[in-house]
Structure 1
């Protein structure tokens, strides 16, 4: 992997130009998919928060408020709008759990990330024989046992394999952070497709909709391309929306500083560059959707539900990003309207 060492220059000044604000690309208008919200949203959200908070002695009032403002239940309900309550609840639990892991991994070194990975992956592969007192392990076993009781084998296997990839990727991310490395764009894209955590969420589309699509069809190049296009949109748009908070902490695991560093662009030009890539990923998804092959009426119906699930993730994640307080605080709707983001000062 070609990379450069990050020497402490703020990401907003990598190209030599200090900035005080950025203008986000208009991704919402570029995405024409319909928004749906699951009718079990309130019930599943309340139950999942209770599950997340239970037994967490380190959960301060500030962290509790942060999770309320996250609105992970809304995201889940927009991304799995047709799921029954038991399936939606499992998806909600995983989403809350994944955000919790993401927050923890931001503060972990490589050793801490690897230790957590060992606990979680062993809990998934050996839910009945692996024993741990770790809270992450207990939570993993809890939602995983519920998923196993109602899921077919294919989604189970894809979930475990892709979650394993997630931990391998965030371990590499932790190593890059320790070494002060900004990867090249190609390497970053490959790594980001796994650090996003989207791939196990795609397996949950199958689970949430009670699908049983054969493995060879899920491995078909067009199906894989659709999943990759959806992953890229969710991931790269997230880099745009999370950039402000991340730059204030000096975090360079984001496509914007990667592009600035590799191509010598100023901040706004890098934002525009990433925005164009996001729009291209939506266009790729639409093109692949038109070119879906046919496998017969029964399988085509299930494949159609799966592809619709990817579309729900694309449009749901875009709109949720402005409803959540994770990226723009309580100003999300104003930012959605104006697309102007005032940059936070760099933290000491």
Structure 2
């Protein structure tokens, strides 16, 4: 039988927008426990969930502990381990809905999400049910550790953020099944939830032992900064670019369009941060630390994106220096 040569997908080169602007120009701090905790966290997750060697390798290559090391540079070793456990957990958990067996299973996905939220919503009666996945039970251990000597407000904010994450992931599945192509604004709103950025704000709040008054989080300026942080934390914004391309733009025009959107986000951030009110001397110190935490999460996603081969191929440092990246000539599916 004659052999059939495998055709490689055609690629083109585009110029990325300059994403290292404003506070993102500053080199990130790295948590000193990064290397040792990375190994412990990855091994602990893999052992608990009985991962196959292929998934172990993917988690290791993903190196989300590096992300966490930038997001929580001042965390103690124990609390840094908790945030790393969540970060390493979210990739294989999310993958079940993106590329795994739940991708086209909305009803089963809903059940898994509900089982995940049980301990955070106070439903502890069925926590030991045999139909709860091991990867869901692993998240229970993160919730348990956060509950120790952590203000109720932090726990509540984390639970609400995780609800939003679940909602976003289920919306993604609905779009995949219906074939709907969301608008640029719709994808931004979905990403605010499904990307898992907001839970990280409160994990960093926990990891850095902050004591921010609960009423601060009701202020529109704080909410604006949280939302802008989520938008800017896209790193390399392939999902928004894909939406533009699906709506008829060339690849370069799509990147330019998203670049202009990011520019406006940077401008809004500077304006909002300059408009912060005062809650009193002691509270203001904690609020400033919380805002620095949001910045650290944004820095983490951007620097992790440029370190990881997941988005930028085998030479991310070259991509960062030149801002040139090779992408598929044909627009890929939207991975919300």
CA shift, 1:338, in A, is 1.9
Name the residue aligned to 1:258: 243
Name the residue aligned to 1:337: 321
Indicate conservation of the 8 Å contact 1:127/1:145, yes or no. no
Name the residue aligned to 2:213: 214
Residues in 1 aligned to 2:250 and 2:328: alpha-carbon distance in whole angstroms: 17
Unaligned ranges ≥5, structure 1: 1-11, 13-17, 241-253
Residues in 1 aligned to 2:305 and 2:314: alpha-carbon distance in whole angstroms: 11
Partner of residue 36 from structure 1, selected from 29, 34, 37: 29
CA shift, 1:19, in A, is 6.3
Residues in 2 aligned to 1:331 and 1:116: alpha-carbon distance in whole angstroms: 37
* Matched ranges for 1:60-71 at <5 A: 60=53, 62-71=54-63
Name the residue aligned to 1:239: 237
Indicate conservation of the 8 Å contact 1:70/1:326, yes or no. yes
CA shift, 1:162, in A, is 1.2
TM-score in terms of structure 1 length = 0.84
* 1:56 maps to 2:49: yes
Q: Secondary structure at the match of 1:282?
A: helix
Indicate conservation of the 8 Å contact 1:19/1:267, yes or no. no
Residues in 1 aligned to 2:48 and 2:205: alpha-carbon distance in whole angstroms: 31
* Matched ranges for 1:1-348 at <5 A: 20-29=12-21, 31-60=24-53, 62-107=54-99, 108-109=103-104, 110-126=106-122, 128-129=124-125, 130-133=127-130, 134-235=133-234, 237-240=235-238, 254-262=239-247, 264-344=248-328
Residues in 2 aligned to 1:66 and 1:328: alpha-carbon distance in whole angstroms: 16
Q: Secondary structure at the match of 2:277?
A: coil
Indicate conservation of the 8 Å contact 2:11/2:328, yes or no. no
Residues in 2 aligned to 1:55 and 1:203: alpha-carbon distance in whole angstroms: 24
Unaligned ranges ≥5, structure 2: 1-8
CA shift, 1:128, in A, is 4.3
Indicate conservation of the 8 Å contact 2:72/2:204, yes or no. yes
Moved more, 188-197 or 25-34: 25-34
Indicate conservation of the 8 Å contact 1:70/1:324, yes or no. yes
Q: Quickly say closer, same or farther: Cα 1:312–1:261, change in 2 above 3 A.
A: same
**What is the RMSD computed on CA atoms of the aligned residues?**
2.1
Name the residue aligned to 2:5: none
Indicate conservation of the 8 Å contact 1:24/1:339, yes or no. yes
Question: Which aligned segments of 4 or more residues in structure 1 are displaced greater than 6 angstroms?
Answer: none
Indicate conservation of the 8 Å contact 1:124/1:144, yes or no. yes
CA shift, 1:331, in A, is 1.6
CA-to-aligned-CA distance 1:300-337 (integer Å, 9 cap, x gap): 00000000111112222211111122222432112112
Indicate conservation of the 8 Å contact 1:23/1:340, yes or no. yes
Q: Secondary structure at the match of 1:21?
A: strand
Q: Secondary structure at the match of 2:304?
A: helix
TM-score in terms of structure 2 length = 0.87
Residues in 2 aligned to 1:127 and 1:59: alpha-carbon distance in whole angstroms: 31
Residues in 1 aligned to 2:266 and 2:91: alpha-carbon distance in whole angstroms: 24
Indicate conservation of the 8 Å contact 1:170/1:195, yes or no. yes
Q: Quickly say closer, same or farther: Cα 1:90–1:58, change in 2 above 3 A.
A: closer
Q: Secondary structure at the match of 2:279?
A: coil
CA shift, 1:276, in A, is 1.8
Residues in 2 aligned to 1:238 and 1:343: alpha-carbon distance in whole angstroms: 12
CA shift, 1:125, in A, is 2.3
